[in-house]
Amino acid sequence: MTGRVYLVVLLLCLRLMCPLASGIFMDKLASKKLCADDDCVYTISLARAEEDYNASDCRFINIKKGQLIYVYSKLVKEKGSGEFWAGSVYGEQYEDHMGTVGYFPSSLVSEQHVYQEANKTVPTT
């Protein structure tokens, strides 16, 4: 019986020393976002990229000048942060499929068409 207890204690110690998953903590971009609905699933507007943008991390999307982007939410700008929108990029390889979803700087796009007002304030997760 004592052998089993020692084995369990040893396994627990090893588990604490070697976690199975690790990651990098990323700061939130904003605490709130503006959406057309409570779940931020409906398209707010259609934007066109005015410049190329290379994503800085996995939360962002790459955009190329001239690409169309469907905008789903707009982050509420906070002190010391940039202004970012969330959307889907559609290009040749995504012609019949859902594009990549992520954030991009709003300063690099121009809204082409507004589908509905983003009048719901939703907390970010």
pLDDT in tens, the chain (125 residues): 576 666 556 555 555 555 555 556 667 788 899 999 999 889 999 999 999 999 988 899 998 999 999 999 999 988 767 799 999 987 665 554 456 789 999 999 999 999 999 999 999 87
Please tell me the distance from the alpha carbon of residue 100 to that of residue 2, in angstroms, as a whole number: 55
What pLDDT is recorded for position 112? 95
What pLDDT is recorded for position 84? 93
Find out whether 70 and 104 touch, Cβ atoms under 8 Å: no
What pLDDT is recorded for position 102? 92
**CATH dotted code for 29-123:** 2.30.30.40
Structure pTM?
0.73
Q: What is the DSSP letter of 11?
A: H
